[in-house]
Amino acid sequence: MAIAALAGSTVTQEAPRKKSRIALILLLPGIFYLVLFFIVPFVSLVITSLQVPSATNFGQFDTAFNWQTYVDVVGQYGTQILRSFFFALLATVFALLFSYPLAYFIGVKARRWPLLQGLMLVLVIAPFFISFLLRTLAWKQILSDEGFVVSALKALSVLGPQDHITGTPVAVVFGLTYNFIPFMCLPLYTTLERLDVRYLEASNDLYAGPFATFRKVTIPLSLPGIVSGTLLTFIPAAGDYVNASSEFLGGSSSTMMGNVIQSNFLVQLNYPAAAALSIFLRAIILIIVSAYVKRSGTDDLL
Amino acid sequence: MVAGSFAESGADLELVGIHKRFPGFTAIEELSLKVPAGSFFALLGPSGCGKTTTLRLVAGLEEPTSGQVLIGGKDVTGMKPFQRPVNTVFQSYALFPHMTVIENVAFGLRRRKVDDPVAKAHEALRLVELDHLAARKPLQLSGGQQQRVALARAVVNRPALLLLDEPLGALDLKLRRQMQLELKTIQTEVGLTFVHVTHDQEEAMTMADTVAVMNKGAIEQMGAPEELYELPTTVFVANFLGQSNLFTGPVVESTGDTIAVDIAGTRIVVPTARAQRHSGIVTVGVRPEKLSLVTEDPGPAAGLNVIGPGRVVDVSFSGVSTQYIVEVPRLGTMVCFAQNMVFGPVVDVGASVWLSWKVDHGFGLDDVAEQAGAVQVGSAQDIAALDPEAVL
Ligand SMILES: Nc1ncnc2c1ncn2[C@@H]1O[C@H](COP(=O)(O)OP(=O)(O)OP(=O)(O)O)[C@@H](O)[C@H]1O
Ligand SMILES: [Mg+2]
């Protein structure tokens, strides 16, 4: 879904409408892939979401058209749904605030020193070399009650004697932000790296100070990067179930939709509810993303 | 400049001992010049000689390694570009791709909170005949149209000092003439100061009050267009601005008024006042249109330099004049332009001719051409193709 939305935002011209066998042949693997790994599971998910518990066999489900499940899960998990989007939004904003200056430095300021540029890019990508589960666990250690962060903050009276960091929304949003920063940083870097500083000079020459130049020239010119970065962060963050899980950084007060789906599928074995939640999550994200892409009008750029 | 208002008049520009070094390359050796307020200053020079760098230093986009920039008597060396009362028409246009044409033009006005920016921007677009394309994005325009938008975007601000980096280079001749007139009108109406970089000598000569010829990061010669053309002081200027016939030889006689130079047995006399150096080996020259071509030996005459006989090797007709290339033994190849007073050329290829010119029309240069005569001449196309730096 994310991929489709991204592709839609960057295609600027319609390809010439010419029937071509080669194009079709080249498209076949892609179509096959989509049918096999997207359409089929999706249809199966829709069917599952409409099933009812079997009257005869306990733990089995019969095919039906029980859309009531959707109403039930939305009512039952409303808090977690809202929380998921809120946390994802926060993580996206924080990741953007952190990544933009970093990407700007690597992509624009560090142009004169290619070595530094390469080094910093490697540092941005380096976390990918270690499983994000391990990295998130490491953060759990660092932020744990025995860790030095908590003791230091307690010593400074920022935290009370009974307070924790792990298990709180703060830790979850922190974890989400941390895990998605590379996804924000890389698209930003690619657009900023191509930013022609002559536009900034022209803006400067036309009486725009640094702030006005940033607002009127730099931001609009890097909008494609901002849009892809925020999408690549927001979409997976909204469905993330690792950071918010109580085995990692979350707790009961910070459960997100991903955790609810996981528990319905794997613990409660309530497949229709889990499927309905998944589809609902997808639908909402699709609506948010299309509204966002449309509004930012990225297809007008470049 | 005060926000919300236009400059009342131009500001003078002074560069004091500017030196600019890029990592590993010195772009400006040493540059000092003064452009009086309200004047039209043209900067001519071969590609890569530092014209754009000079403008960038004035605009504040580049910091001089040493030296000062003064605008309106105020030292602006440390000032940021947006604080300087200067606008630039960039050689690369640098139009904002995400804004429409009209937004591009109104950009500077909006930043300075000028009243009614859109109306003023439309007015500027009408001036460059592009008002009908106001709603387009720059990438949807042709190169010449983009260039005119860049011109409008800078001119609309009526800055005290306007820097134009080859602002008309992409335009056809007719449009270029028209834009030259518009520019000149704006400049004289408000009395703004223009610094204009161009490759078009004619444009520089017709528009500017002062022309400066730049070479290898330094100004070779600066002055009124006629002065620069009639009395070049260096080999570079003599060849870069128009064409010249040059001869190098020792000074053999020096009276109060004239010096005589011996070129392989031929004496060429130049007025002392028009010669930069009066002894030793010197290079003297004369413009091709000052030569007259005769088919009989005119004999020695007072106040006249005569060389010949030579053989005409090429005749090319160019409308108002005809260019003759004459091979003179021991002196080299010479170029002569003759007005077409009669139908067709006066002489044909192979004819034996003498060339003469008034002593008063000659000039003596400050430096010495490495090779006498032959290098500088040739057909006009050859000269255009020659890299001026390679000539030196
Ligand atoms: N940022 C830079 N770093 C290194 N060298 C530079 C830089 N900018 C310009 N130069 C060099 O300085 C010299 C002068 O450049 P400049 O752009 O001023 O030339 P120009 O006279 O405007 O030429 P043209 O007529 O081709 O536009 C050139 O040799 C160029 O290679
Ligand atoms: Mg240039």
Whether the upstream peptide bond of residue B23 has omega within 30° of 0, thus cis, is: no
Atom 10 of ligand 1, nearest CA residue: B27
Residue B234 domain-assigned (yes or no): no
Report yes or no: A296 and A227 within 8 Å, Cβ to Cβ. yes
Atom 26 of ligand 1, nearest CA residue: B47
- Cα torsion for A299, B105, B181, B54, to the nearest 10°? -90
Which three-class secondary structure state does DSSP give residue B86? strand
Residue B201 domain-assigned (yes or no): yes
Query: pTM (2 decimals)?
Result: 0.84
Task: Identify the residues whose C-beta falls under 6 Å from ligand 1.
Answer: B 22, 25, 27, 45, 47-53, 91
Q: Delimit the domains of chain A by residue range.
A: 2-49, 71-301
Burial class (CB in 10 A: 0-12, 13-18, 19+), B328: buried
Burial class (CB in 10 A: 0-12, 13-18, 19+), B348: exposed
**Close Cβ partners of B9 (under 8 Å, ≥ 6 residues apart):** B37, B38, B160, B190, B191, B192
Give the model's pLDDT for residue B345.
67
| Token duo for residue A25 | 């042949």
Domain count, chain B: 2
Look up residue B97 and give its DSSP letter.
T
Report yes or no: B288 and B243 within 8 Å, Cβ to Cβ. yes
Give the range of the structural domain holding residue B166, as residue numbers without chain letter. 2-228
**Residue B352, Ramachandran bin (φ over 0: left; ψ between -120 and 50: alpha; else beta):** beta
Give the model's pLDDT for residue A15.
54
Residue B105 domain-assigned (yes or no): yes
Candidates B25, B88, B165: which one to mutate for ligand 1, based on the most atoms within 8 Å of Cβ?
B25
- Which of B178, B199, B228 is the C-terminal boundary of a domain? B228
Among A94-108, A170-184, B309-323, name the one with the lowest average pLDDT: B309-323
In tens digits, what is the pLDDT along chain B, a chain of 392 residues?
Answer: 455 677 778 889 999 999 999 999 999 999 999 999 999 999 999 999 999 999 999 999 999 999 999 999 999 999 999 999 999 999 999 999 999 999 999 999 999 999 999 999 999 999 999 999 999 999 999 999 999 999 999 999 999 999 999 999 889 999 999 999 989 998 998 889 999 999 888 899 989 999 999 999 999 999 999 999 999 999 999 999 989 999 999 999 998 899 999 998 899 999 999 999 999 999 999 999 999 988 888 888 888 999 988 999 999 988 888 999 999 988 889 999 988 887 666 788 999 999 999 999 999 999 998 754 444 443 333 433 444 444 33
Give the model's pLDDT for residue B5.
72
Indicate if B119 and B247 belong to the same structural domain. no
Give the model's pLDDT for residue B3.
58
Taking the CB of residue B283, how many other CB atoms lie within 10 A of it? 27
Indicate if B222 and B266 belong to the same structural domain. no
Report yes or no: B52 and B164 within 8 Å, Cβ to Cβ. no
User: A–B: how many Cβ contacts below 8 A?
Assistant: 60
Q: CB contact, 8 Å: A205 with chain B?
A: yes
**Close Cβ partners of A287 (under 8 Å, ≥ 6 residues apart):** none
CATH number of the domain encompassing residue B324:
2.40.50.100
Report yes or no: B81 and B69 within 8 Å, Cβ to Cβ. no
In whole angstroms, what is the distance from residue A217 CA to residue B95 CA? 11
| Token duo for residue B58 | 């004035």
Task: Enumerate the β-bridge partners of residue B22.
Answer: B25
Residue B154 domain-assigned (yes or no): yes
Cβ <8 Å between A220 and B81: no
Q: What are phi and psi of A137, to 5 degrees?
A: -60, -40
Indicate if B185 and B245 belong to the same structural domain. no
Optimal mutation site among A12, A195, A196, A207, interface B, most CBs of chain B within 10 A: A207
Higher local confidence (pLDDT), A72 or A16: A72
Indicate if B62 and B134 belong to the same structural domain. yes
For residue A116, pLDDT over 50 is answered with yes
Indicate if B223 and B247 belong to the same structural domain. no
Q: Which amino acid is at B161?
A: L
| Residue B174 C-alpha, separation from nearest chain A C-alpha, in angstroms | 28
Element (H, E) at A290: helix A271-296
Q: Which residue is closest to A198 within chain B, CA to CA?
A: B94
Give the model's pLDDT for residue B28.
94
Indicate if B268 and B295 belong to the same structural domain. yes
Residue B109: which of B126, B121, B95 has the closest Cα?
Answer: B121
Q: What share of chain B is helix, strand, coil (3-state, %, to 5)?
A: 30, 35, 40
Residue B311: which of B338, B333, B287 has the closest Cα?
Answer: B333
- Cα torsion for B361, B367, B372, B377, to the nearest 10°? -60
Indicate if B132 and B259 belong to the same structural domain. no
Maximum Cα–Cα distance across chain A: 79
Q: Which amino acid is at B351?
A: A
Indicate if B195 and B276 belong to the same structural domain. no
- In this prediction, the answer to ipTM > 0.90 reads no
Residue B351 domain-assigned (yes or no): yes
Indicate if B129 and B98 belong to the same structural domain. yes
Look up residue B275 and give its DSSP letter.
B
Element (H, E) at B243: none
Report yes or no: B364 and B269 within 8 Å, Cβ to Cβ. no
Report yes or no: A15 and A26 within 8 Å, Cβ to Cβ. no
Look up residue A100 and give its DSSP letter.
H
Atom 18 of ligand 1, nearest CA residue: B50
Cβ <8 Å between B94 and A216: no
CA of B72 to the centre of ligand 2 (A): 25
Q: CB contact, 8 Å: A118 with chain B?
A: no
Indicate if B132 and B219 belong to the same structural domain. yes
For residue A7, pLDDT over 70 is answered with no
Look up residue B326 and give its DSSP letter.
E
| Residue A10 C-alpha, separation from nearest chain B C-alpha, in angstroms | 15
In whole angstroms, what is the distance from residue A202 CA to residue B90 CA? 8
- Average pLDDT estimate for A47-68: 87
Q: Which of residues 131-170 of B touch A (CB under 8 A)?
A: 153, 157
Residue B391 domain-assigned (yes or no): no
| Domain A71-301 classification at class level | mainly alpha
Indicate if B252 and B208 belong to the same structural domain. no
Task: Enumerate the β-bridge partners of residue B328.
Answer: B332
Q: CB contact, 8 Å: A301 with chain B?
A: yes
| Degrees to nearest 5, angle at CA A229 with A195 and A274 | 170
- Which of B198, B228, B258 is the C-terminal boundary of a domain? B228
